[in-house]
Structure 1
Amino acid sequence: MPSLSNLSLRTLKWGSTALLAASFCSTAWAQTPREAWHDALADGYATLATSTADLDQAVTSYCATPSAERRQALETAWAQAFDSWQAVRFVDFGPIEQDNLAWQFQFWPDAKNTVARKVNLWLGSEQSIGVEQLKADSVAVKGFPALEYLLFDPLASKAQPLPEERACELVTAISSLLQYNATQLQEQWQAFRPHYLGTEQFQNTTVLAAMHGLDILRNKRLAAPMGLEGKPRRNPYISDAWRSEHSLAGIRASLVGLQQYFLPGLRQLLSSEEGAELVERLDQQLTATVARLERQSADMQTLLADDDGYRNLQLIFIEVDKLNQLLSGNIASELGIIRGFNSSDGD
């Protein structure tokens, strides 16, 4: 994923360009926290727009000329686009609040299996399928989970398997709507810049968004399937992206997103010696947690199936818990921020 372009200025060679490099670096580091956050998140939204466009193209190619290679390319494109969404998923303010847009990208949690029921209704009906028809329907049939069901769930294949015509029509409409929403979100975030930079409260709002996102990751996306939150039993089917066995990869993408899109502004905000040390600790803990996730070759469902796998999940949970303690504890205290209820917390 792209990082802040101004950070690359630190790689400029000294010598005849030293004065110019110092000038550029001074300009970059003179950014306010909100300027750094807005620019970083603009990169994140641009990546989401690009990856959903790639996904839409992969759908078109596969449905036009189905093959095993194009099916694999389609599934890979879904995973890459899904990960780009996970990276910016913590942002719960601004344009993403309009028209339930976050839910249009990912309807989750889905305790009543609404995604499967809505998709099967479309597959079994004779109603024409297109972007405009989907816009008028439930958020459950508009985003990544609906595509995941069509691509990875055997029950979808029984109803109307890809690449049969109606299944392809539905996949095409969903991917086109995803691309449209991602493009709109990217444009709206740029238009949101003056208001974001000019409103002091967005400083705390951005930190709170990262806190809420990490809290949901810890409690809902990891602890709940492990039986540590809610019902005390292991249940991989309440994790997100379980059908594609992409639950832990999605968690990793969220942590990488915090590192790339949230840390730049936090470094600007906590510029004192003590604050800088806290940010460095958070950065190091994010790196360690991502590395542990990368070492896991199996996903949530497999790891929950036996005690050895569960112990690996416990080690991941411990790393994520350290992140929570750092951000919602030490760093929030340093900033004088108290975590409150957030609508994205769910039930």
Structure 2
Amino acid sequence: MKRLILTLFLASSLITAPLMAADANGANESTAVYRTQWHKDMLAGYQSLATQSQALESQAQTYCQSPSSEELEATKRLWLDAFLAWQQVRFIDFGPVEENNRAWQFQFWPDPKNLVARKASYLLKDEAPITPEKIGESGVAVQGFPMVEYLLYDQTFSRSESALPAGRSCQLLVAVTRHIARNGETLANDWKGFQSNYLGSEQYTDTTIRAAMAGLEILEERRLATPMGLRGNGKRSIYSADAWRSGASLIAADASVQGLKKHFMPAFSKLLNDREQTDLAKRIEQQFEEVLANFPELDRPMAPLLSDDNAFKPLQSLYVDLTQLTALVNDRAAVELGVVRGFNSSDGD
């Protein structure tokens, strides 16, 4: 009798095992649909970053060859375009952007020790040629958007003898913009090559969702709450914000929300709808619109808003709306989908 029961059990296992495998494969195939959309949308973001970075490099060369106030303003505009393109894909903290500290190379922040300014001073006083190799070995504080921002916008630097279009400062400007452009092009190409790995691994579904969760947390807690004095020492300070020299802290926040809406939400909404979370998907989509409704009023420097209580109110409204969005995605949606918030490489970027 025992042998008969064992035989029946083994026969049953052989029948059900393929069904279980089919279910697992079906689940993987279904999640691959979302990853296919995510890969396409994120590739578009990376390609935009590459295009805008190349335009910045070209304009930096034009300005330094024929300096003028008009060309300087054009360089500033293209710096902002490229910087905002980076903000749109900044939440992606996995895959090729992890290689060689690329995210840090694009944007070294936070910078509590003002390392960008110190590195700039050292390089401008040094007599060694500012070559691509020199930029490559000088560290992430030199290699990205904050260094270009320093050269273009820093008030103390702009009053110094080294101010643009001084020869060595122009060399540094051209070299750093070239580094950014090369990184942008390489990152877009590497993301293309990452497609088979990304689509073929079910774990990247959760990884992508966690990246968006982390991006929202960093935006809420560190890019807004800290300079607003809601975290840390409780004092308002523009120097805790990113892009404070150019006054682009808030328009950069706008770009980050726009990037999540454009490159993350289409597939995420489909995932929620397919999991019968239609109402939640609609609430999240509506909350994205609520956050973005704070702009373009807040597409202006943060510093004056921090120094005046009345002007501070629109910033508070943005923070409240963003907090609600973060709660919907990181708490409600994550719980419904069984996604656990864990460590990610954006922490401390």
TM-score of the pair, normalised by structure 1: 0.89
Contact 1:120 1:156 in 2 (8 A): no
Show the 5 A alignment for 1:17-166: 32-157=33-158, 158=160, 160-166=162-168
Question: Structure 2: how far apart are the matches of 1:277 and 1:58?
Answer: 47
Give 2:125's aligned amino acid.
Answer: G
| Corresponding residue for residue 7 of structure 1 | none
Contact 2:41 2:263 in 1 (8 A): yes
Give 1:232's aligned amino acid.
Answer: G
**Secondary structure at the residue paired with 1:180?**
helix
- Alpha-carbon offset, residue 159 of structure 1: 5.0
Structure of greater Rg: 2
| Corresponding residue for residue 332 of structure 2 | 330
Give 1:220's aligned amino acid.
Answer: R
Contact 1:51 1:80 in 2 (8 A): yes
| Corresponding residue for residue 21 of structure 1 | none
Q: Tell me the alpha carbon deviations over residues 275-332 of structure 1, each in whole angstroms, 9 at most, x when there is no partner.
A: 2332222222112211203122532111001101222211110011011011001111
| Corresponding residue for residue 192 of structure 2 | 190
Unpaired segments ≥5 residues, structure 1: 1-28
- Alpha-carbon offset, residue 270 of structure 1: 1.7
Contact 2:31 2:205 in 1 (8 A): no
Question: Structure 1: how far apart are the matches of 2:124 and 2:95?
Answer: 34
Question: Structure 2: how far apart are the matches of 1:296 and 1:192?
Answer: 36
Contact 2:228 2:237 in 1 (8 A): yes
Unpaired segments ≥5 residues, structure 2: 1-29
Question: Structure 1: how far apart are the matches of 2:178 and 2:89?
Answer: 20
Q: 1:248 aligns with which of 239, 250, 266?
A: 250
- Alpha-carbon offset, residue 43 of structure 1: 0.2
Contact 1:60 1:172 in 2 (8 A): yes
Equivalent pairs, count: 319
- Alpha-carbon offset, residue 31 of structure 1: 7.3
Q: 2:345 aligns with which of 340, 343, 346?
A: 343
Contact 2:95 2:194 in 1 (8 A): yes
Question: Structure 2: how far apart are the matches of 1:275 and 1:136?
Answer: 49
Q: CA RMSD in A?
A: 1.6
Question: Structure 1: how far apart are the matches of 2:289 and 2:56?
Answer: 28
**Secondary structure at the residue paired with 1:140?**
coil
Show the 5 A alignment for 1:184-223: 184-223=186-225
The answer to whether structure 1 residue 172 and structure 2 residue 162 are counterparts is no
* Greater shift in the superposed pair: 288-297 or 214-223: 288-297
| Corresponding residue for residue 321 of structure 1 | 323
**Secondary structure at the residue paired with 1:344?**
coil
Question: Structure 1: how far apart are the matches of 2:176 and 2:343?
Answer: 32
Give 2:230's aligned amino acid.
Answer: L
**Secondary structure at the residue paired with 1:342?**
coil
Question: Structure 2: how far apart are the matches of 1:291 and 1:61?
Answer: 37
Contact 1:241 1:247 in 2 (8 A): yes
* Greater shift in the superposed pair: 307-316 or 232-241: 307-316
Give 2:301's aligned amino acid.
Answer: D
Contact 2:294 2:314 in 1 (8 A): no
| Corresponding residue for residue 23 of structure 1 | none
**Secondary structure at the residue paired with 1:119?**
helix
Question: Structure 2: how far apart are the matches of 1:236 and 1:126?
Answer: 34
Is the alpha carbon distance of 1:174 and 1:306 closer, same or farther for their aligned partners in structure 2, counting shifts above 3 Å? same
Q: Tell me the alpha carbon deviations over residues 132-190 of structure 1, each in whole angstroms, 9 at most, x when there is no partner.
A: 21001110000000000000002222151111110100000000000000000000000
Contact 1:263 1:279 in 2 (8 A): no
Contact 1:95 1:188 in 2 (8 A): yes
- Alpha-carbon offset, residue 268 of structure 1: 2.7
- Alpha-carbon offset, residue 274 of structure 1: 4.0
Is the alpha carbon distance of 1:30 and 1:126 closer, same or farther for their aligned partners in structure 2, counting shifts above 3 Å? closer
| Corresponding residue for residue 292 of structure 1 | 294
Question: Structure 2: how far apart are the matches of 1:330 and 1:132?
Answer: 47
Contact 1:120 1:159 in 2 (8 A): no
Give 2:303's aligned amino acid.
Answer: Q
Question: Structure 1: how far apart are the matches of 2:299 and 2:253?
Answer: 14
* Greater shift in the superposed pair: 227-236 or 170-179: 227-236
Q: Tell me the alpha carbon deviations over residues 218-272 of structure 1, each in whole angstroms, 9 at most, x when there is no partner.
A: 0000000011111110001110000000000000000000000001221232223
Give 1:154's aligned amino acid.
Answer: Q
Question: Structure 1: how far apart are the matches of 2:50 and 2:346?
Answer: 23
Give 2:274's aligned amino acid.
Answer: S
